């Protein structure tokens, strides 16, 4: 784990791989996961800049707020045309996304930590 590491959570393998590619091209180290429970349970916030979470990885929106708060680092939430629930202060990035928008969101998250 390093100070420039980002957790990526996306259930779709192809999408997850493309997110990893974009972030690695921006000089970030990435720990990819298919599920949010697995990602947040297997990692502590120390050393991570943030988590990039696809909205499709969130199983229970009523529980999402608590999950994100327990993670303890900024969350960049990738959303479609509308969010199922307003979760909180997460940085939202619209899908389909351009790589630059994702990199900018992660850089912004890094400056808030």
Number of domains in the chain: 1
> pTM of the entire structure?
0.84
Residues 75-102: pLDDT tens digits? 898 988 666 555 666 777 877 777 888 8
Q: Identify the three-state secondary structure at position 34.
A: coil
CATH number of the domain within which 107 lies? 3.40.50.2300
pLDDT tens-digit readout, 10-38: 999 999 999 999 999 999 999 999 999 88
Range of the domain at 48: 5-111
Q: Which of 82, 77, 63 is CA-nearest to residue 109?
A: 77
The 8-class DSSP code of residue 27 comes to T
The answer to whether the CB of 47 falls within 8 A of the CB of 5 is yes
Q: Which residue has the tokens 């259930």?
A: 11
- Distance of alpha carbon 48 from alpha carbon 60, whole angstroms: 24
Q: Is the pLDDT of residue 1 over 50?
A: no
Question: Can you give the C-alpha Rg of the chain in angstroms?
Answer: 12
């Amino acid at each position: 784990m390093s100070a420039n590491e980002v957790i990526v959570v996306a259930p779709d393998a192809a999408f997850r791989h493309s997110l990893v590619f974009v972030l690695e091209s921006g000089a970030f180290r990435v720990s990819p996961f298919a599920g949010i429970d697995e990602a947040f349970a297997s990692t502590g916030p120390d050393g991570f800049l943030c988590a990039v979470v696809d909205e499709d990885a969130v199983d229970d929106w009523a529980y999402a707020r608590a999950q994100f708060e327990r993670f303890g680092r900024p969350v960049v939430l990738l959303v479609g045309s509308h969010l199922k629930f307003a979760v909180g202060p997460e940085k939202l990035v619209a899908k389909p996304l351009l790589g630059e928008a994702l990199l900018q969101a992660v850089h912004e998250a890094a400056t808030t930590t």
